[in-house]
Chains A and B, each alone.
Chain A
């Protein structure tokens, strides 16, 4: 007998997880499949973590609408799902007189889009607010509604809340094809068997083009990976508390200097089209480009303080803007196409995709209702998901109490980020279990500090093995094929 669902969501990025959480509100069975060993492994995992104010997208585009609707949803969402979110505001910084007109353009665009709380700042005001900024700064656009979040925490919280409310999540499960009855989608084939359904929701990010092509939709639509490289700095050596954008160019929002919620300064990204959808390799040229770009905003950056570098891939699509009279070919696709039945099609969800994700989830629900889907609210739906304890953020007194309750919180495993055995064990047994090193890293931030896992790695591998009841040889960094260890010692020639 085929396992049957009302909805199958393909892709466990922030958009897929938000849709799962939104659908979990209704009396319907929902399955989310993710091809990787954890959720939040694609575009949602490597970006600037900024909740954008909305002055950047082209007025009239779906990107602009989703950004503007999405931004104000974050306060309630972070409260319900208890993930950290701070509305710190952001700056677009003009360096030199010649960049000043660019600020006016953005201000105008922001007004048309309906961004509240924008203000022009003089050189003196900018210098007073960020002491590390390039002294040649000529002014800045300030947007009070900009915010920063932790994209892993957001995605995981949304997916967990969905699971709490009955959604099923299958990891290591990749889509292979649709099962059709005429032009109606009635199920999908995966590497882990077939599943029946009434609706498939395509939130496959980088691969959304391939999925819609399999459904016979939009053969002209292609996703190109647009790579962006980043550096992360040691928070003990440098703290930039502000979100600083340069004046945008044709290549996008530009190389910015910002901060994580954990207090680490972060610079990037550049914007280079890549060949492959899985190529997350940094390049010498790319790293040099972001270095020079960031130095233009904050000249005091020092290479000695770099502790991490990574690449993010943006799923850059060629979806045409639907508003009449606007010639823009890189808009979001959010639609229920008429050529097939039972398909919600999303594509090209790049920045501001994180900001837009709750709005996109609501949009999908609205589209389904418009399509005649009778979504009936569950009585028992619980919108609240509670965060698990984080030793590092606690006062001495809170730590004392926590360890009294569970001694495993007294054993610190990651020295730089102060992550304890208790937290690691809790994540391994969470509603969406973290069974790889990187999954634990994304949830607890272990191994992200200045020693980059040098100290904790052997200890964490042992804890994962013990908790899962497997050999350390089976423990992986990020799923199949990434085992840390090859064989026991003393087996030469055995």
Chain B
């Protein structure tokens, strides 16, 4: 594939938010839309969410994650959205330049008239919740384990304790049970469930997996691999209740302890973040504080249903397309002025051709070499002569002025650029 230098809309991330944004942008009339995805295939985290529960709101159907993604993937392809897979975006500037790299195209620089940030979120990890103990293999975030089991096809362990009653944690409890592992316990530090009730019923209750509220992991044991965790009850102030400690032998500890919108790229682009959501401040069009940079889905705040992520993606994609179209229109009114034969520079460097409808435009320049005889100063649109002016001579020390008049509008309107040449008559 050959990349264009400039796209109307570039979407970073191809999860539900990104795919919806790309579809909506194309439908809104954006011509060139590019989706950049760091993984090998489209769909983001949906690819590893092989359980059902997706699409109930939007499609009135109960779909597994990959099927839900597939509906949008088909649409993205049929609409002619361009796709870059296995590509990591490294930097975005406030001027909407995107730097990315992959194996096939190398290090690339792409300009965008508008950008939709759809990087999703990452999982909170062990140090962030300060679980003391050893650092053996076998402590994973639920999402990493989900990737291993559902995408790579490997089991991380046989006896599992899950900390956190978030949705991914409960879904993994059921998934690992299907694969023959024993889920010893789900521990939740809060006095209530933090995920959806339907997941509690379908993933824990139906499989007799014990949930302990107001419990947490006090420490991890085992040097090379996890050998056990010590669970403990906590009081209202989250302090461990002495005497409630219990050693649970296990080989795996999964953490489902919260998600954080992933905004490292947003920060580089100068996007301001809300300290409460950890996502960008956005307006009702999902535009951030940086003009032309939009954000959609879990990168803004953490959603509970994928359907709402898709909706947000639609809205952000549509608004990003509108922004890009207006920007494109402005750009196409500009005509660059090119210094041709014996012209050192011209001010202005470009002109807005619409101004010529009602006003004249004064072009000022200096020459490179003196010509001590009568000359033509000619304004060309390729082969076509737009205007010319006679002078008796030109010298580098003396500024030369040419004025474009309203009558030139007809010619200038058609021009992609204008070249000025100075030569003897």
Contact = CB atoms under 8 A, between A and B. Distances in A.
Interface string A390-414: 0000001001100110011011100
B128 interface: yes
A308 interface: yes
B261 to A, nearest CB: 12
Contacts of B179: 489-490, 492
Interface stretch (A140-148, A214-222, A274-282, A317-325): A274-282
Interface stretch (A63-71, A174-182, A329-337, A452-460): A452-460
A476 B137 contact: yes
Contacts, number: 152
A385 to B, nearest CB: 27
A411 B86 contact: yes
Q: Sort chain A's interface into a size bin.
A: 35 or more
A2 interface: no
Given A308-B127, A462-B152, A486-B158, A411 B103 contact: yes
B218 interface: yes
Interface residues of B, number: 54
Interface string B129-171: 0101111110011011001110111111110000000000000
Contacts of A399: 101, 107
A287 B144 contact: no
A442 B274 CA distance: 34
A412 B38 contact: yes
B219 interface: yes
B109 A396 contact: yes
Interface in A270-316: 278-284, 286-287, 303-304, 306-310
A469 interface: no
B264 to A, nearest CB: 7
A480 interface: yes
Contacts of A239: none
Given A284-B218, A452-B125, A418 B90 contact: yes
Nearest to A477: B137
Contacts of B136: 477, 482
Nearest to B132: A282
Contacts of B184: none
Contact of A454 (B102, B103, B109, B141): B141
Contacts of B223: 278, 280
A467 to B, nearest CB: 16
B155 A415 contact: no
A279 B105 CA distance: 47
Contact of B122 (A455, A476, A483, A490): A455
B214 interface: no
B99 interface: yes
Contacts of B31: none
Contact of B107 (A307, A396, A484, A491): A396
A307 B125 CA distance: 8
A243 B190 CA distance: 39
A473 to B, nearest CB: 7
Contacts of B103: 403, 407-408, 410-411, 421
B134 A281 contact: yes
B169 to A, nearest CB: 14
A372 interface: no
B88 interface: yes
B155 A486 contact: yes
A490 B178 CA distance: 9
Contacts of B154: 472-473, 485-489
Given A403-B106, A410-B101, A477-B137, A458 B224 contact: no
A451 B267 CA distance: 16
Contacts of B140: 454, 457
A257 B317 CA distance: 45
B155 A488 contact: yes
B180 A309 contact: no
A372 B289 CA distance: 74
A88 interface: no
A412 B88 contact: yes
Nearest to A306: B127
B128 A307 contact: yes
Contacts of B101: 399, 403, 410-412
A412 B155 contact: no
Contacts of A476: 137
Interface string B83-115: 000101010000000010111111101000000
Interface string A29-44: 0000000000000000
Interface of A: 231-232, 236, 278-284, 286-287, 303-304, 306-310, 396, 399-400, 403-404, 407-408, 410-412, 415-416, 418, 421, 450-455, 457-458, 462, 472-473, 476-493
Interface of B: 38, 86, 88, 90, 99, 101-107, 109, 122-123, 125-128, 130, 132-137, 140-141, 143-144, 147-149, 151-158, 178-180, 218-221, 223-225, 251, 264, 267
29 contacts: A280-B223, A281-B132, A282-B133, A284-B218, A287-B130, A304-B128, A306-B130, A309-B130, A399-B107, A403-B103, A403-B106, A407-B103, A410-B105, A411-B101, A415-B264, A418-B88, A421-B103, A451-B125, A452-B126, A453-B144, A454-B122, A455-B122, A472-B152, A476-B137, A485-B156, A486-B157, A487-B155, A489-B155, A491-B180
Nearest 8 pairs of A and B residues by beta carbon? A412-B88, A492-B180, A481-B224, A477-B137, A452-B125, A403-B106, A400-B107, A485-B154
Given A458-B144, A486-B155, 9 more contacts: A236-B267, A280-B135, A286-B132, A411-B86, A462-B152, A483-B137, A483-B225, A486-B251, A487-B155
